[in-house]
Amino acid sequence: MIDCGGQVYIELWTSLASLLRSYAAVHGLGSSGQAMVELSEERILICCGEKWLNLEREGATVNWKREDGSRGTLELTGAGRLRCATGEEEMDLVAEAWARELMRQP
């Protein structure tokens, strides 16, 4: 296990925001929807129309919630993954899935 200081989590957090921004742009090609991404050291908010995803970070812990009331908690790992109760997933795969869902047309 990699021991991470607070700065590493900030860098991973910034990378997650960048991934969300990029994947939302790709999934928005050919549609009229555009995503807005706001970033701070503790929060990422991505919105597209009525859909949104709010991520809040405290250290390595990431709490997320969606416009439909769904929510969860993940943990950033030193390896650049997101861990939940059922296992770990690569950060880019999680970001792509979130962006795909947000940009999906009704």
pLDDT given for residue 106 in this prediction: 66
Q: Is 59 helix (H, G, I), strand (E, B) or coil?
A: coil
Establish if 1 belongs to a structural domain: no
Range of the domain at 13: 6-103
pLDDT tens-digit readout, 50-73? 999 999 999 999 999 999 999 999
User: What are the beta bridge partners of residue 84?
Assistant: 87
pLDDT given for residue 1 in this prediction: 43
**Number of domains composing the chain:** 1
Structure tokens at 39: 């970033």
- pLDDT of residue 39 exceeding 70, the answer is yes
In whole angstroms, what is the distance from residue 56 CA to residue 52 CA? 13
Residue whose tokens read 């047309």: 105
Q: Which of 25, 14, 31 is closest to 99 using CA atoms?
A: 25
CATH number for the domain spanning 37: value is 3.30.920
pLDDT tens-digit readout, 2-26? 455 678 899 999 999 999 999 999 8
Q: Which of 18, 9, 17, 5 is closest to 55 using CA atoms?
A: 17
What mean pLDDT is reported for the chain? 90
In whole angstroms, what is the distance from residue 73 CA to residue 58 CA? 11
More confident residue, 22 or 31: 22
DSSP code of residue 106: -
